[in-house]
Structure 1
Amino acid sequence: MRLDKYLKISRLIKRRTVANEACDNGRVLLNGKAARASAEVKPGDILEISFGNRVTKAEILAVEETVRKEAAGDLFRYL
């Protein structure tokens, strides 16, 4: 699954366009490297997202095409 779509589905970032812009600006790292929005994600990958001066780090636990709002938190684990 594409990184920008995963960020939206997991609700780490609310909108896909915002996720796409964050990737384009180098604010999203995938396994320690700057990631493009089209990068493929898989379980076990580590995400680092910079929100202003705060950095959120999470491990991808599952990749699903659709998920209910209540179950979105089960797709990742904060580190």
Structure 2
Amino acid sequence: MRLDKFLKVSRLIKRRTLAKEVADKGRITINGQIAKASSNVKTGDELEIRFGQKTVTVQIDVLQESSRKEEAANMYTVLKEEKVAGDDL
């Protein structure tokens, strides 16, 4: 599954176009490698996403083409969530 689609379906990022923009800015890594929106993700991959003031690290547990709001959180496990200093904006 494409990275941008996973981020949207899992509701880590609300819109696919926004997921693409974040990936194109180099703010997402898959298993330590900088990822593009078109990168493929698979079960077990570790994503690190930088959102403005925080960095979230998640592990992909399940891939689904679509999900309900209640099911979306079951697609990944949050491994780490940390605040980032504001000087890199």
TM-score category of the 2 structures, normalised to the smaller one = over 0.9
Pair 1:20 & 2:25 matched: no
Question: Match of 2:74, SS?
Answer: helix
Aligned-partner residue type, residue 74 of structure 1: N
Residue number in structure 2 paired with 1:11: 11
Residue number in structure 1 paired with 2:48: 48
- Distance in 2 (alpha carbons) for counterparts of 1:53 and 1:70: 26
RMSD: 0.5
Count of residues in correspondence between the two structures? 79
Q: Percent identity over the alignment?
A: 52
Question: Match of 2:39, SS?
Answer: coil
**How far off its partner does 1:52 sit?**
1.1
- Distance in 1 (alpha carbons) for counterparts of 2:16 and 2:67: 15
**How far off its partner does 1:53 sit?**
2.6
Residue number in structure 1 paired with 2:76: 76
Structure 2 unaligned regions, length at least 5: 80-89
- Distance in 2 (alpha carbons) for counterparts of 1:4 and 1:44: 17
* Moved >2 Å (runs of 4+): none
- Distance in 2 (alpha carbons) for counterparts of 1:48 and 1:62: 17
Q: TM-score, normalising length from structure 2? A: 0.87
- Distance in 1 (alpha carbons) for counterparts of 2:71 and 2:62: 11
**How far off its partner does 1:61 sit?**
0.1
Aligned-partner residue type, residue 15 of structure 1: R
Aligned-partner residue type, residue 19 of structure 1: A
Q: TM-score, normalising length from structure 1? A: 0.98
